[in-house]
Amino acid sequence: EKLMGSSVKQMHSFFSPGSVAIVGASRKSNKAGHVIFKNFAENKRRGVFSGEIYPVNPFENSVLGHKTYSSVKEVPGELELVVIVIPAKHVVDVMKDAASKGVEAAVIISSGFSEIGNDELENQIEAIAKEAEIRVLGPNCLGVFDSRTGVDMLFLPETRILTTGDVVVATPRPMRGDVAIVTQSGAFGVA
């Protein structure tokens, strides 16, 4: 029972973080970082997500009206979770910044690691995470979706605008309920 309680507490940062930085947040609506940041911002506006949100992108001044920070280190105060949506070659530097900031958890959406034979890069991330005791989900994953807490890292847009101007549901989000799905397959996860 003690182990179970400890394990659940260690997962808390993924499902109900007090603060989250989206590294790679973008003003470009076709970018995964834009979709993920918009999900958090919309859920915060609706009162579903209660944590603080911080867009991180050294090339943007603001995203969706939120001041943008050039690095994780520049985010004010404590930071519980980082969601990383940038090219793989930059993830090690972000993880180093997250470690120095005292981040508890990281979700690495980015691809380009062991799944394409880039084991060295993934090993570096693993070493940083172990040393700093950062829980990691990923790399190359869809992230976490929790309808109760408003955590939504699904980078597939919920709606799409057709050439006719009609708005249609593209990737509906599951409604609140008592069923959970944990899957290693992104295809099954969004089916």
- Residues 8-63 have pLDDT tens digits of 677 899 999 999 999 999 999 889 999 999 999 999 999 999 999 999 999 999 99
- The mean-pLDDT minimum among 2-6, 90-94, 113-117, 184-188 falls in 2-6
pLDDT at position 173, please?
65
Q: Which residues contact residue 49 at a Cβ distance below 8 angstroms, ignoring those fewer than 6 apart?
A: 40, 43, 149, 150, 151, 152
The class of domain 10-156 in CATH terms is alpha beta
Greater confidence (154 vs 6) lies with 154
pLDDT at position 181, please?
67
Greater confidence (191 vs 16) lies with 16
pLDDT at position 163, please?
85
The CA-atom distances, in angstroms, between 38 and each of 58, 79, 128, 187 are 18, 19, 29, 22
Query: Which DSSP letter does residue 175 get?
Result: P
Q: How crowded is residue 96: how many other Cβ atoms within 10 Å of its Cβ?
A: 16
pLDDT at position 155, please?
83
Please provide the average confidence, as pLDDT, over all residues in the chain: 89
pLDDT digits (tens, 9 = 90+) for 147-160: 899 999 988 767 67
185 has pLDDT over 70: no
1 has pLDDT over 50: no
pLDDT at position 3, please?
45
pLDDT at position 170, please?
64
What percent of the chain is modeled with pLDDT above 90? 68
